[in-house]
Structures are given as structure tokens and as C-alpha cells.
Structure 1
Amino acid sequence: MSKNMSAGEAYGHAEAKAENAAGAAKDTVNKAQDKAADAASDASGQAQLKKEEASSVLQQTGEQVANMAQGAYDGVKNTLGVGESQQKK
């Protein structure tokens, strides 16, 4: 600043710098909010995918257990002579 600058001019320059700094800060905050929102969205999508994968694994496991139980049940029926193969004789 030169010595000839008036108080009004100095105030105007300071005010402009403050407005620029405030604008830059707002931009930084907005960018951070956008990144946080994107990260949250990605995390939510990944969580949903993992939930669906886990559900599928549990369903497959349940089906396998049911099939094994049915096979054991059929084996016991055949051993005791109440299965279809024993009834056809």
C-alpha cells in the first residue's frame, strides 16, 4: 500500500480480500461436502452389495442343508422299509 492510499481505499481492498477468502472457503467446504456425499453413496452401494451376497450365500446354504436332511430322511425310510423302493416289492 502506498502512503497516499486513503482509509476508504484500504478498507475497500481489505473487504475485497475478505470476500475472496470467504468465497474460497465456501468453495472448499462445498467440495468437501460433495466428496463426503460421494463417499457415503459409494459405501452405501457397497454395503447393499455385500448384504445381497450374504443373503445369497445363506439361501444356498439353507437349500443345501434342506437337501441333505431330505437325503438322510429318505435313507432312514429306505433302511426301515417304508421307502418307495421297499413298497414296490
Structure 2
Amino acid sequence: MDSQNASYQAGQAKATTEEKASNMSEKASCAAQSAKESMQEAGSQMQEKAKDTMDSVKEATGMNK
């Protein structure tokens, strides 16, 4: 009976560990996705600012005519 109980407890511990690992992996994946989206947004903002700057330079130098 003791070996069955030990085997059962080992199985329970394994299942708990696997569930925790899965949850941690999911959280890491979500964090990575969020970081990716933040970087894409920052890149888009930088592109827009660069375009606005070029438009201002063109306007100031008369190159947009």
C-alpha cells in the first residue's frame, strides 16, 4: 500500500509541476507578445515623427512645390 501511495503522490506532484510550468510558459508568451506590440507601436510613432520632420524641412526649404 505504501508504494501505491508514494506512486500516487509522485503523479500528483508531477501534474502540479506540469501545470505550473504551463502557466509560466503562457505568461511568458503573453509578456513577449505585449513587448512586441509595444515595440511595433513605438516604431510606427518614430516613422510618423520622421515623416513629419521631413515634411517640415521640405516646407521650410521650398522643396515640396
Report sequence identity in percent: 23
Spell out, residue by residue over 1:12-32, the C-alpha distance to the aligned partner (whole angstroms, 9 max, x if none): xxxxxxxx1111100110000
Task: Give 5+ residue unaligned stretches, structure 1.
Answer: 1-19
RMSD: 0.5
More helix by share: 2
- 1:63 CA drift (Å): 0.1
Match of 1:78 in 2: 59
| Segments ≥4 residues shifted beyond 6 Å | none
Greater Rg by CA: 1
- 1:67 CA drift (Å): 0.3
- 1:48 CA drift (Å): 0.7
- 1:37 CA drift (Å): 0.3
Query: Within 5 Å, which residues of 2 pair with 1:20-31?
Result: 20-31=1-12
- Under a length normalisation based on structure 1, what TM-score does the superposition of the two structures give? 0.71
| Number of corresponding residues | 65
